[in-house]
Amino acid sequence: MFLDINYLAALIVVLTLHEFSHAWVANRLGDVTPERNGRLSLNPLRHIDLLGTLMLFIAGIGWGKPVPINPRNFKNPGRDEAITAVAGPIMNLMIALIVAIFVNYMPPNFLTDFFDATLDLSLVLLLFNLLPFAPLDGSKFLILFVPARSRARYQAFMDKSMPYFLIFMVIDLYFLKNVFGFSLVWTVVSTVFFWLKTAILVVV
């Protein structure tokens, strides 16, 4: 699927806008770190992550290059870091809503497959990035709901948890899928994806 030219083009658009939104929101909230690192840009080459892209082709789930931020530059570090994190998934939702209008009402033409692919990838990235695992955006947004007394331990665990996340993904996508015929992550993501896509296409 992802070797299709329409999905490749959609992937570049969706990932670029996702990561750019992190940089833009961080900049608006007072942190110029993304701008200094060249991430306040719509140049796709600044946002494509090699490992995340490879995982997309290997496992069907991927991510862009994380946008560097310095929470100390925020007026309210905990809140503003969470807002910056959720900006990416919100951008994906906005893209999905806009593209759904074209999918619903535009007569079939050479862009039809591209808009379909953009809608699908926007929703997949939205849902996947909201999973509560580092380095995904959901892990940073979830801290708002962690009791204050436990936030330091939560953050310390998240800072070291990426290897565990990758191990979990390998076990889930290969061992569980090959042995038991299902993937926990894909079961959750695909189920919510189906209902969310159906609802968006009905609403718009």
Plot region of 41 (φ>0 → left; ψ -120 to 50 → alpha; else → beta)? beta
Chain segment 44-54, per-residue pLDDT in tens = 989 988 777 77
What residue segments make up the domains of the chain, in order of their start? 5-203
Asked if 19 is an active-site residue, the reply is yes
Chain segment 61-79, per-residue pLDDT in tens = 666 788 999 999 999 988 9
**pLDDT of residue 17 exceeding 60:** yes
| pLDDT score recorded for residue 57 | 66
Residues whose CB falls within 8 Å of the CB of residue 128, separated by 6 or more in sequence, listed in order: 61, 63, 136, 185, 189
Residues whose CB falls within 8 Å of the CB of residue 114, separated by 6 or more in sequence, listed in order: 6, 9, 10
Q: Is 129 exposed, middle or buried (0-12, 13-18, 19+ CB in 10 A)?
A: buried
Chain segment 116-127, per-residue pLDDT in tens = 999 999 999 999
pTM score, whole prediction: 0.88
**Taking a C-beta distance cutoff of 8 angstroms, is the pair 52, 65 a contact?**
yes
The residue annotated as part of the active site, out of 7, 15, 19, 74, is: 19
